[in-house]
């Protein structure tokens, strides 16, 4: 076993420990999709290739048996060139790995699930004063499929995870997003609804989305609407709750709608395909809290007037700032009175629509 194989094995061990403890943060359907993605990664399959259900179920059974033996286990340190590192010491680990062409990631995802990965570096560049890595083949990863993230003030785009993520977004898109998806595909020179065309064009779609991922993360780094320290406290105080989902949605909208964010970049650069994909994929609480975008997009497809998109983004940003302020003020008031549950109920009552 090479030193790289040994390191990947250690990272995978921590991935399995995390998954064994935190698989419950996903819904049954959500877990099934993530296990399917993890299976495809483990077997080196493209996103569109589906194996027999019996084969996948057997693999999932083996994985769950492995997880059963890892419950309540501590994460292991990573041994690199004879030195041990805490698995969350990304700075120290990457100081060793980056000159060798690899990047390691560690942090906390939805519901504070620990997440880890190890991948080849494809590209490193500067974008608006920020270091941006594009990663290729992943040697280790967990259940969490994410296209991009920030780490140590850098932006990281995970190509392999992003293509799995994009494929699922397109294949499982809701009817309400199909018009925008068709618009985006046409502006990529692709036909919507043709699986073979989608397979051939997935790299083109990733290229269209890559800058959106990058500028979303840059927008997060520049956001001043949601205090990062308080946001982390809110997430930690209310994991697995509608308030956590709301706080994440508001933070994402603030990132995308500020002057440094994804939508502002799309408007400045007149990126029709990227705009179409953004409108097609926006969902959940983010979609509920940004209703003017879909209306503006419909007008845009008829007129080509970017000003209507710009106005919608400004309205969305203003609303998201107000929501962030209310979440922070209510959370801090509850914390001061030692009534966190009261704060949670107030935030849900004021900002989350009940259906």
Sheet of 130-141, strand order: 102-108, 114-127, 130-141, 154-158, 148-151
C-alpha 263/C-alpha 257 separation (Å) is 6
- Measured from the Cβ of residue 274, the count of other Cβ atoms closer than 10 Å reads 24
**C-alpha distance from residue 317 to each of 300, 313, 348 (Å):** 19, 6, 20
Q: Give pLDDT, residue 297.
A: 98
CA-to-CA distance for 1 and 3, rounded, in angstroms?
A: 7
> In order along the chain (355 residues), what is the average pLDDT of each group of 10 residues?
90 96 84 91 94 92 92 92 96 97 94 93 96 97 94 96 94 93 93 82 93 97 94 92 94 97 97 97 93 96 97 97 97 95 95 73
Q: What are phi and psi of 201, to 5 degrees?
A: -95, 5
Q: Which residue's entry shows tokens 């203003």?
A: 318
The pLDDT score that the predictor gives to residue 1 is: 59
What is this structure's pTM? Answer: 0.94
Residue 252 CB contacts under 8 Å (≥ 6 apart), including other chains: 216, 286
Taking a C-beta distance cutoff of 8 angstroms, is the pair 190, 207 a contact?
no
d(CA 280, CA 300): 14
Task: Tell me if 258 sits within 8 A of 223, measured CB to CB.
Answer: yes
Cα(294)–Cα(288) distance, integer angstroms: 10
- Strand pairing class (102-108; 83-85): unpaired
Residue owning tokens 């996948």: 56
In the chain, alpha helices (H): 3-22, 28-43, 53-68, 90-97, 159-171, 178-187, 195-222, 228-237, 242-257, 262-269, 272-281, 284-288, 291-303, 306-336, 340-351
Give bridge partners of residue 149 from the DSSP assignment: 156
Measured CA to CA, the distance from residue 247 to residue 225 in angstroms comes to 12
pLDDT value for 101 = 97
pLDDT recorded at residue 354: 61
């Amino acid at each position: 076993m090479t030193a790289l194989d040994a390191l990947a094995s250690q990272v995978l061990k921590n991935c399995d420990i995390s998954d064994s403890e935190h698989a419950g943060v996903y819904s049954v359907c959500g877990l099934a999709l993530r296990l399917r993605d993890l299976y495809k990664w483990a077997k080196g399959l493209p996103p569109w290739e589906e194996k027999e259900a019996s084969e996948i179920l057997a693999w999932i059974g083996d994985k769950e048996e492995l997880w059963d033996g890892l419950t309540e286990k501590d994460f292991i340190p990573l041994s690199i060139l004879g030195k041990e590192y805490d698995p969350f010491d990304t700075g120290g680990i990457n100081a060793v790995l980056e000159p060798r062409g690899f990047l390691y990631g560690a942090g906390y995802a939805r519901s504070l699930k620990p997440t880890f990965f190890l991948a080849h570096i494809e590209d490193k560049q500067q974008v608006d004063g920020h270091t941006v890595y594009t990663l290729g083949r992943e040697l280790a990863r967990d259940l969490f499929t994410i296209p991009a993230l920030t780490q140590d003030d850098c932006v990281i785009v995970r190509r392999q995870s992003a293509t799995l993520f994009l494929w699922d977004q397109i294949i499982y898109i809701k009817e309400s997003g199909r018009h925008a998806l068709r618009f985006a595909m046409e502006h990529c020179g692709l036909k919507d609804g043709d699986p073979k065309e989608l397979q051939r064009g997935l790299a083109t779609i990733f290229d269209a989305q890559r800058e959106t991922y990058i500028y979303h993360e840059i927008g997060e780094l520049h956001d001043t609407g949601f205090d990062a320290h308080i946001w982390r406290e809110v997430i930690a105080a209310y994991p697995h709750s509608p308030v956590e989902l709301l706080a994440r949605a508001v933070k994402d909208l603030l990132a995308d709608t500020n002057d440094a964010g994804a939508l502002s970049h799309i408007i400045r650069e007149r990126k029709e395909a990227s705009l179409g994909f953004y409108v097609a994929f926006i969902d959940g609480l983010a979609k509920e809290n940004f209703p003017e975008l879909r209306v503006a997009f419909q007008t845009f497809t008829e007129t080509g007037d970017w000003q209507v998109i710009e106005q919608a983004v400004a309205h969305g940003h203003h609303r998201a700032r107000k929501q962030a302020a209310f979440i922070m003020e209510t959370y801090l008031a509850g914390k001061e009175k030692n009534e966190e549950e009261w704060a949670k109920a107030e935030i849900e009552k004021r900002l989350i629509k009940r259906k």
